[in-house]
């Protein structure tokens, strides 16, 4: 629960920044991507209505969050695709509070008290032609996302739900292409040859970690489809920070407990492969607790601004990450 509260606090801080800066909030995945200290990882039963080799899912936007239409146990709404989440599925307690609680996980809260995380079972979930049954899900209060975005949010899911597939994500065309890793090997190979750049990624606990470069410094990032802006950590060197053109500083309340300042600006020297990616906005914040959660030291988070540079390719089982640049 302490982890959950940290991310809720960070989300509120970022949302406050967004309100005053008249920009979208940085990351809804940074709120809840570790909504409990432990997860029930029962595999969901999975099938498709048709075409087992590949499927194209239409994406909608809530700000720069990527959402897919879904029906979960008869309830229609939207699911956020959040590759920064280690959870299989987290559902909004508003709509699933009447589900029978299968079990509870007790964790120590930030105030020192024991607090309970409720785990439920979902009978069926449909996303286009994908059908999942018998899924374990954590419950969380996601009303703050609904209120900020003005859309019905049933929950969010992580990369684990799609681990049978290779992904080709095109946010400029608002589509997510899925290719079955066993049944569509030729299609996957063709996509990989089309990529302008492919690197060996590191996928740990269903989180994708990739390498980029700022100036001459190689840095490890979390790739996060739930992040509406890029984020850099305050711990980075002066040389890295000097490459950023800072355009503002805001004093905001962190979950109502204390006030802190957030810097924002533009990354001028970010490179991915041999490509210089210009004009990517970035927020500088303390992300040390995020590195602790992920068990990997990271320099920052690459989100929507990065995704908009081209089509993103992820091969889960081979741990490959690539990009086809927007021409």
The pLDDT value given to residue 117: 76
pLDDT of residue 3: 41
Helix/strand/coil for 211: strand
Q: What pLDDT is attached to residue 16? A: 31
Common-topology check for domains 2-180 and 185-325: yes
CATH class given for the domain over 185-325: mainly beta
Which tokens hold the place of 298?
């990271």
pLDDT at 181: 92
Please provide the distance, in angstroms rounded to a whole number, between the alpha carbons at the two ends of the chain.
44
DSSP 186-197: HHHHHHHHH-SE
pLDDT of residue 19: 28
Query: How far is residue 164's CA from residue 133's CA, in Å, rounded to a whole number?
Result: 15
pLDDT computed for residue 309 by the predictor: 97
**Annotated domain spans of the chain:** 2-180, 185-325
Report the b/e string of 253-282 with b at 16+ CB within 10 A.
Answer: eeeeeeeeebbbbbbebbebbeeebeebbb
Looking at residue 103, its pLDDT comes to: 79
8 Å CB contact between 209 and 196: no
Tokens of 273: 């492969």
* pLDDT value at residue 208: 97
**2-180 to CATH, choices 2.40.50.140, 1.10.3720.10, 2.40.70.10, 1.10.10.60:** 2.40.70.10
> Mean pLDDT, consecutive 10-residue segments, the chain of 327 residues?
38 34 30 32 51 86 95 97 92 93 64 69 92 91 89 95 95 96 94 97 96 95 94 94 89 51 89 93 90 92 96 96 95
What pTM value is reported for the model?
0.83
The residues, any chain, with a CB within 8 Å of residue 250's CB and separated by 6 or more, are 16, 17, 20, 21, 261, 262, 264
What pLDDT, on a 0 to 100 scale, did the predictor assign at position 45? 53
Question: Residue 147, CB half-sphere, CA atoms under 13 Å: how many?
Answer: 8
């Amino acid at each position: 629960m302490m982890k959950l509260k940290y991310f809720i606090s960070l989300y509120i801080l970022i949302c406050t920044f967004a309100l005053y800066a008249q920009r979208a909030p940085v990351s809804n995945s940074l709120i809840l991507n570790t909504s409990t200290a432990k997860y029930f990882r029962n595999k969901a039963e999975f099938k498709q209505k048709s075409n087992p080799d590949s499927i194209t899912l239409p994406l909608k936007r809530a700000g720069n969050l990527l959402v897919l239409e879904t029906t979960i146990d008869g309830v229609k709404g939207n699911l956020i695709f959040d590759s920064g989440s280690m959870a299989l599925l987290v559902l909004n307690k508003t709509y699933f509070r009447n589900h029978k609680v299968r079990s509870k996980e007790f964790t120590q809260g930030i105030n020192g008290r024991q607090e309970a995380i409720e785990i439920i079972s979902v009978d069926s979930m449909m996303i286009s032609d994908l059908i999942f049954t018998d899924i374990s899900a954590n419950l969380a209060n996601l009303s703050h996302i609904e209120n900020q975005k003005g859309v019905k949010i049933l929950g969010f899911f992580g990369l684990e739900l799609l681990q049978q597939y290779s992904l080709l994500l095109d946010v400029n065309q608002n589509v997510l292409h899925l290719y079955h890793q066993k049944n569509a090997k030729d299609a996957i190979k063709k996509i990989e040859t089309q990529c302008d750049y492919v690197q060996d990624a590191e996928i740990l606990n269903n989180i994708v970690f990739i390498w980029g470069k700022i100036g001459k410094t190689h840095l490890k990032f979390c790739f996060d489809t739930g992040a509406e802006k890029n984020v850099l950590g305050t711990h980075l060197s002066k040389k890295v920070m000097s490459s950023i053109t800072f355009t503002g500083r805001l004093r905001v309340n962190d979950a109502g407990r204390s006030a802190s300042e957030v810097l924002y600006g533009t990354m001028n020297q970010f490179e991915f492969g041999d490509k210089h990616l210009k004009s990517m906005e970035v927020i500088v914040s303390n992300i040390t607790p995020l590195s602790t959660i992920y068990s990997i030291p990271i320099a920052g988070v690459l989100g929507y601004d990065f995704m908009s540079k081209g089509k993103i390719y992820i091969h889960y089982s081979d741990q490959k990450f690539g990009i086809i640049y927007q021409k």
